[in-house]
A and B are shown apart, each in its own frame.
Chain A
């Protein structure tokens, strides 16, 4: 058992490192991580500068989360597609370690990298524009950030399986981007949406991440409400991670039947 945990952590650590190294040598990814968030942060804060100083933190958190999701969807997804095109997806599947664990490490690398970039960019632009970035509950906010990573990684592992199963899934990337922004309440409360959409928001772990981050940043949630958000975030993330085990078994079996692990058949 101890050896299994050690091996799993070693695989996560190694795939994290490899993904990070590859991202740092990819101009397209670097643009998405460094330049694009700077532009988006500047535009978002500029557009909303008349809303008052307390609104700044809402914009910063919301925009950073949209950036996080975009990174997850595009970098995470493209990374799987890239593995297929370079022929390494077969090498990963043919290895004895679990592909799900490898993907976990890859998604974790993309999320961590993106999160650090978002925090850096938004802090920099806010300071440059003279926005006071005050946090109502800093400790709760920090814990919420850590849990947000967990929520996004769990969600990312599920999303990545679709890229393994469906070689053309890249075509649907754009259509998935906005529904998640909206349903998870990254930039505006889900109360503005029709009532029938609420259950969909509730089963998405990034929604609970957004709720706890916004609530702890602006002080709009009571402490017990933040705890409820964290609990639900953890429950849904754990469900995703446990569920992904069966999902990956199904996906890999399907991919081996349909011969979709490689582009050359």
Chain B
């Protein structure tokens, strides 16, 4: 059974430009996407900034009305049955907004428990349990404005779980968390998955999607460009090897030169501190290094490594951009 069904979903936004001669411009944020999510599945939606991930989630959480197409949650239409859907879903949007900063974490939860019709006696038991689950015990009576980013993010999770929803929408839940906080959050998500919740997760972190998601859809410029299991997505780049070259300063026309080499499938650049890591995808394997000598001549280089492709490489190939 499918918990979420999306068919040809599209969303446009109107923006105005200019002051005297005002012009209306239409921007397509989501462009006719179609996919299903099975009940109890942890499904990942990956894509670069502005790809349409958050807009998709906002349509599914009944906060935006689609321009066209349909979407159902547990068989209920997101436009016509919005009021019936709301008690059955929980959502968090990445970042620190969406909470009452001048109230304590405890009062935030008490307020939302009321808004979600959680029975007073159940709320009295559930709120301390959730506070413990998300690791805020001992800090719950402090104002949210004094919380760290990670604590606010965890409070968001607790808020979304108050009414024990069947479907959860987690929009970049680990954004801005430190490594320990992010790991704890991933463990919480795994626990929710074990509890048979249907979860739609968006993230920028490929290893996170790889580790957590049963299936992944890659969205770029509003369109779904790939949908499969992490293993099968990785398989799409199985024919390739990845050569990582550490470079200190890339000349302007250098990337174009590498891209035009016959044995190069795609090229991406990752910046780490003052170094740049050139990621070359090639079917030729380690032997391609010797062919690269000519174009690398004169550059200040660091380590050169050849490795097997990861989900991130599949993603880079699919969205075709720089990291």
Which residues of A approach B to under 8 Å, CB–CB?
7, 10-11, 14-15, 18, 21-22, 25-26, 86-88, 90-97, 102, 253, 256-257, 259, 261-262, 264-265
CB-nearest residue of chain B to A22: B102
What is the interface residue range for chain B against chain A? 20 to 34
Q: How far is the CB of A246 from chain B (nearest CB, A)?
A: 15
Q: Determine if B111 and A94 form an interchain contact, defined as CB atoms under 8 angstroms apart.
A: no
User: What chain A residues lie within 8 Å of B111 (beta carbons)?
Assistant: 14-15, 18
Q: Is the CB of A95 within 8 A of B98?
A: no
For chain A, what secondary structure do more than half of its interface residues adopt (helix, strand, loop), or is it mixed?
Answer: helix
With an 8 A cutoff between CB atoms, is B137 at the interface?
Answer: no
A256 neighbours in B (Cβ, 8 Å): 62-65
Structural contact, A261 and B63, CB atoms closer than 8 A: yes
CB of B265 within 8 A of chain A? no
Do A11 and B63 have beta carbons less than 8 Å apart?
Answer: no
Q: Does B99 contact A (CB under 8 A)?
A: yes
Q: Contact: A11 with B115, CB < 8 Å?
A: yes
Does any Cβ of A come within 8 Å of B100's Cβ? yes
Known contacts A7-B117, A253-B65; A91 and B107 CB within 8 A of each other: no
Contact of B117 among A97, A261, A264 (CB under 8 A): A97
Instruction: Name the CB-closest residue of B to A253.
Output: B65
Tell me whether A88 and B99 are in contact (CB under 8 A): yes
Q: Tell me if B43 is interfacial: C-beta within 8 Å of chain A.
A: no
- Complex CA distance for A32 and B237, rounded to whole angstroms: 64
Rounded to whole angstroms, the CA-CA distance of A85 and B64 in the bound complex is 17
Output the nearest chain B residue to A261 by Cβ-Cβ distance. B63
B87 at the interface (CB under 8 A from A): yes
> Chain A: which residue is nearest B13 at the CB level?
A259
Question: Within B7-23, which residues are at the interface with A (CB < 8 Å)?
Answer: 13
A-B contact pairs, 29 of them (CB 8 A): A10-B120, A11-B114, A11-B115, A18-B100, A21-B102, A22-B100, A22-B102, A22-B103, A26-B102, A87-B93, A87-B95, A87-B97, A87-B98, A93-B63, A94-B62, A94-B63, A94-B86, A95-B112, A96-B83, A96-B87, A96-B116, A96-B117, A97-B114, A97-B116, A97-B117, A253-B65, A256-B62, A259-B64, A262-B63
CB distance from B275 to the nearest CB of A (A): 33
B263 within 8 A of A: no
Of residues 66 through 125 on chain B, the ones whose CB sits less than 8 Å from some CB of chain A are 83, 86-87, 91, 93, 95, 97-103, 107, 110-112, 114-117, 120
